[in-house]
Amino acid sequence: MTWRRSDTSHRSAWTKAEIRAARQAPLKPLLERLGYRLSPADRDNYLVLGLASEVVIKEHYWVCLEDGSAGNAIDFLVKVQGKSFNEAMALLAS
């Protein structure tokens, strides 16, 4: 997948409301849109397939079962996909 920078990826400031909304973004539809395969697990959790580490998502939160790293949609895009904060926000805002 080729990443294209949209005009919003160059923004230097995001409002608190935009950041709050991005943090609350549901992970299942986001990851499916990005091409990740998900496997249902217990209690409405999903295992993200194809990653080097076991990652489980639920609603707007993810956790790596191997090293304990965790977070929201912004954190996933930054920590797992290697995007910058602005790139992550632009993707979540689109």
Return all residues near 21 (Cβ < 8 A) that are at least 6 apart: 92
Report the alpha-carbon distance of residue 7 to residue 44 in Å, rounded: 35
- Summarize pLDDT for 53-89 with one digit per residue, the tens: 999 999 999 999 999 999 999 999 999 999 999 999 9
The CATH superfamily holding the domain 15-93 is Zinc finger, CHC2-typedomain (3.90.580.10)
Domain-wise residue ranges, the chain:
15-93
Res 40: pLDDT: 97
**pLDDT class of 94 with cuts at 50, 70, 90:** confident
- Summarize pLDDT for 2-46 with one digit per residue, the tens: 334 444 555 668 999 999 999 999 999 999 999 999 999 999 999
Beta bridge mates, 58: 61
Report the alpha-carbon distance of residue 62 to residue 6 in Å, rounded: 26
